[in-house]
Chains A and B, each alone.
Chain A
Amino acid sequence: MSLVELRNVSKIYRLGEEEIRALDDVSLDIDEGEFISIIGPSGSGKSTLMHILGCLDSPTRGTIKLDGVMIHDASARQLATMRNRKIGFVFQFFNLLPKLSVVQNVELPMIYSGVSGRERRERAMASLEAVGMANRAKHRPSQLSGGQQQRAAIARALVNGPKIVFADEPTGNLDSHTGEAILSLFRKLSTEGRTIVLVTHDPEIAAVTPRRIEIRDGKIAEKVDLTLAGLDRPHVVRSPEDKLAS
């Protein structure tokens, strides 16, 4: 059983008379431990796909199963719990709360899952240790460089032991050198067995992941980078359309 099962998912927005299909009948499986990238130009629907995968949004049509739980018809409260326990987000603009220190930012998800004070601090510090930020725990986000902020954000995404981590253009606001360091951090996390979904418009960044999914006009056009896939593990074509095509 896959970690994520997306079946015939559509997301339709209405702008007056016009109907915009942000996602059009998308089916997708993601296995546990996979490191994949979703790539596409802006407006292609990749953000919408990530929001639906990340339980921030619900699809207009279709079903979605995350870790064995059907979530396409879940309540807002259930979605919040899913985001809290099973999903970690890393954003382009880091999205740390400016008034809290780094360690308090990392504690935030645990506050909502009701972890007690001492354990919260310990786990937050452990998580910061894992991304090499333990020595900056007491700093404010504004006192950190972009790369450091992104590391803190990654620590926050990991702190509740999520099943899957979504990174939305995680290097988009960083210089290439720092971006490279963040990407190698993701690669390291992937080798540790984390499931990571990288959302980007940049093929070069997407190249680091063994599996790449390209979105165009709300539909999946899956491509396999043979060289990388060969180095990592063999990739199986899962999209039903692709099965038909081959």
Chain B
Amino acid sequence: MNLFTTIFVGLKEVWAHKFRSLLTMLGIILGVASLVGMAAIIKGMENGMRETMVAMGGADKVLLEQQEVPSEQEHLADQARGRTMTDVFALRESAPLIRLISPEMEVRNVTLTRGDKMVSPSECVGVWPAVLDMNLHTLQYGRFFTSLDEENANAVCVIGTAIRDELFGSPERVGREIVPLGELIFINSQPFTIVGMFEHYEGEQEKKQREQARKQPQVQAAGPSRARGWGRGNWAFTRKNLTVYMPLNTAWLRFRAAAGQDGVPDPRLSDIDLKVASLEELETGLQQARNVLMSTRRGIEDFNFRTQENQLDTINQQIRNARMSGGIIAAISLLVGGIGIMNIMLASINERIREIGICKAVGATGLAVFTQVLVESVVIALVGALMGVGVSFGFVKVLGQIAPTANSPVITPIAMMVAVAFSAAVGIIAGLFPAVKAAKLDPIQALRYE
């Protein structure tokens, strides 16, 4: 009895009990759909995380973090001055392995106004031009700050597109791209001139959706338009688009004067970001930076480096964990489906004891009966798996509607293959016991069975 006939007979047997087979397959269908869906969600998460990482400045960005003075240096705590430009200049002079240094001085509690419109930026920071390379910004319109702006502490700023959207109107709403170069806006009531604007940052998924929305005719909604809030899209992109940059000295002189000592505005930086020449030299470069900083800080180790490599590890770890737990849950549901198959196969052979007896009487070997039952079980599992793959497409679509766009689930072929292979394995394992039972039936007793 060749395999083709066996499979054909198996399919026929499944078809003969359509409803029962469907119910049995349901376990496998749901199992496969949940496995594929789970993998799609995790893939979406992974994509979102990686995009976020790039949006925040890439893998080679190192943050110089302030930290508590260690306990053995507690008595020197009042001499720790925090991160200042002294550190920046020293690093620039004495740490050749540090390719890029970007000092940042943040202005907190900022409101931007223009006419009757206002917006709170995600960050309003005084920076050096190094920040463009550091945070992977692309200036699409206008110019960035010159040394003259820095020297004179000019009241100029460069904005992200979301600031433009709020103060001047977004392309979606106005119907054309507004480039507000030369316009005057107020940063906490101080007039600033916009000299440049970044490109619009967005994830792959958002880009697709935006392009789709553009193709469709605009529906004019009645009533006032509402802000979309932070719920949608990747927060890292939203945040990046809400950036306002000004020259470092401008931030220092115009916004820090109230907090100074002896007539000098507060010199403490809110952030120093570094980039090392190459990732291979990360350790050495950071050691160099540490040595330099130890001397400018007079040996007080109140700083720390945070590399994105740690971040990358964390992301990978999170993905692994999610994959693990999701996989186990889906595998359990597939196993439950397998138990359903075993159950129905046992019932099925019990129902067909006489038939098996007849087949044995006309010359079916134990192996032939065994193969037949096993193939039937695998057929149920595989048909269920294929249906499950079909269902998973719809399932993922529904999930895509619910999940935030940044983590929009992505179906992966590998997940499907794994799910189908696993179902086949489940079908084989579930069929083994019933198949052995059927093969071992005594033909005489099977023939007498009523």
List residues of chain A with CB under 8 Å of any chain B CB.
51, 54, 56-57, 76-77, 80-81, 83-85, 89, 91, 95-97, 99, 108-109, 111-114, 156, 160
Contact = CB atoms under 8 A, between A and B. Distances in A.
B16 A95 contact: no
B168 to A, nearest CB: 76
Given A76-B366, A77-B367, A112-B368, A89 B2 contact: no
Contacts of B366: 76-77, 80
A122 to B, nearest CB: 17
A55 to B, nearest CB: 9
A76 B443 CA distance: 11
Interface in B1-29: 1-2, 5, 12, 16
Given A95-B354, A97-B355, A80 B16 contact: no
10 contacts: A56-B444, A76-B366, A80-B363, A85-B363, A91-B447, A95-B354, A97-B359, A112-B359, A112-B362, A112-B368
Nearest to B12: A99
Given A80-B368, A108-B359, A108-B362, 4 more contacts: A76-B366, A83-B360, A95-B361, A111-B5
Given A95-B358, A114-B1, A80 B447 contact: no
B443 A56 contact: yes
Contacts of A108: 358-359, 362
A89 B16 contact: no
Secondary structure of the B contact surface, majority rule = helix
B365 interface: yes
B444 A51 contact: yes
Interface string B333-371: 000000000000000000000110111111111111000
Contacts of B357: 95
Contacts of B364: 80, 84, 112
Contacts of A113: 363
Given A51-B444, A56-B444, A95-B447, A89 B365 contact: no
A83 B1 CA distance: 15
Nearest to B361: A89
What 6 A-B pairs are tightest by C-beta distance, nearest first?
Answer: A84-B363, A80-B365, A109-B362, A112-B363, A83-B363, A95-B358
Nearest to A87: B363
Nearest to B439: A76
Contacts of B443: 56
B361 A56 contact: yes
B299 to A, nearest CB: 87
A22 B365 CA distance: 26
Most chain A CB within 10 A, of B358, B359, B360, B366, is at: B358
B13 to A, nearest CB: 8
A120 to B, nearest CB: 10
B365 A112 contact: yes
Contacts of B367: 77
